[in-house]
Copies of this chain bind each other. A is one copy, B any other.
Amino acid sequence: MSRIPMEGKVLSENDRIAAELREKFREHDIFCVNLISSPGSGKTTLLEKTLAGFGPDERVAVLTGDIQTDNDARRLARYGYPVRQITTGGACHLDARMIQRSLEDWDLNSIDVLFIENVGNLVCPTSYDLGEHHKIVLLSVTEGEDKPLKYPATFFKAQVVILTKIDLLPYVQFNLELARENARKVHPEVEIVEVSCTTGQGLDQWRAWLERANVNATLVA
């Protein structure tokens, strides 16, 4: 995010709306996660696999953000759950007001789990609270194991790091142990899940985390 004098004001206005969203999620018992990563780390593909794992009666919904195009919403809509694209125009991140507006005409009582797919950007999205229960950061093994050290704020605020595309490990120079170590240097308690959406490896672990976190969120609320 740009270091611009108005930044503090914008963020505190965002925090105010995020608090309203958080209250709304609590009231309607909605478990909400916010997926953050570089462009092309596999957020949409992970969501496709995640939606495919829910039963037809489960009450799941997705808000997906991009600067331009509704490609992701079209990809995700095929799974039969409510999906809405947020096109930010030029903004490099989703903010709480965009989420608030997108939810305005949805029946929140019909949603149990809400996935927010942020704009592909490993920097700015993490500064904007969306009222979510957890931030999840994805890091593809093609991006290099140094990313937690280079983008510490994003990895520090995430509850889970999902290392994606692990089927490509034989073809890239990526030290899995060092990646884990770097993530834990920035955020010692972070959960780390390794997945391949191509082979399916690790998806059960991701689903187990989601289920556990959802139950815990309900217990707290």
Query: A22 to nearest B CB, angstroms?
Result: 22
Q: Give complex CA distance A69, B143 in Å.
A: 16
Which B-chain residue is minimally distant from A7 (CB atoms)? B4
Interface-located stretch among A49-57, A89-97, A104-112: A89-97
Cβ A10 vs Cβ B4 within 8 A: yes
Query: A10 to nearest B CB, angstroms?
Result: 6
Q: How many copies does the complex hold?
A: 2
Cβ A3 vs Cβ B120 within 8 A: no
Cβ A3 vs Cβ B91 within 8 A: yes
Cβ A146 vs Cβ B69 within 8 A: yes
| Residue in B91, B121, B143 whose beta carbon sits within 8 Å of that of A40 in the complex | B143
Cβ B168 vs Cβ A69 within 8 A: no
Cβ B2 vs Cβ A71 within 8 A: no
Q: What count of chain A residues pass the 8 Å CB interface test? A: 44
Q: Give complex CA distance A168, B168 in Å.
A: 8
* Residues from 33 to 63 in A contacting B, C-beta threshold 8 Å: 38-41
* Residues from 138 to 181 in A contacting B, C-beta threshold 8 Å: 140, 142-144, 146-147, 149-153, 165, 167-168, 171-172
Cβ A165 vs Cβ B142 within 8 A: yes
- List, in ascending order, chain B residues with CB within 8 A of A6's CB: 4-6
- List, in ascending order, chain B residues with CB within 8 A of A38's CB: 38-40, 120, 122, 143
Q: Give complex CA distance A121, B149 in Å.
A: 15
| Residue in B68, B124, B153, B171 whose beta carbon sits within 8 Å of that of A124 in the complex | B124
- List, in ascending order, chain B residues with CB within 8 A of A68's CB: 149-152
- List, in ascending order, chain B residues with CB within 8 A of A121's CB: 92, 121-124
| Residue in B1, B120, B147 whose beta carbon sits within 8 Å of that of A2 in the complex | B1
Cβ B168 vs Cβ A39 within 8 A: no
Cβ A67 vs Cβ B2 within 8 A: no
**7 closest residue pairs by CB, A with B:** A40-B143, A92-B123, A142-B142, A6-B6, A38-B38, A38-B39, A4-B6
* Contacts beyond the supplied A67-B152, A68-B152, A92-B124: 7 A-B pairs with Cβ under 8 Å: A1-B92, A2-B93, A4-B7, A39-B144, A71-B146, A71-B150, A142-B165
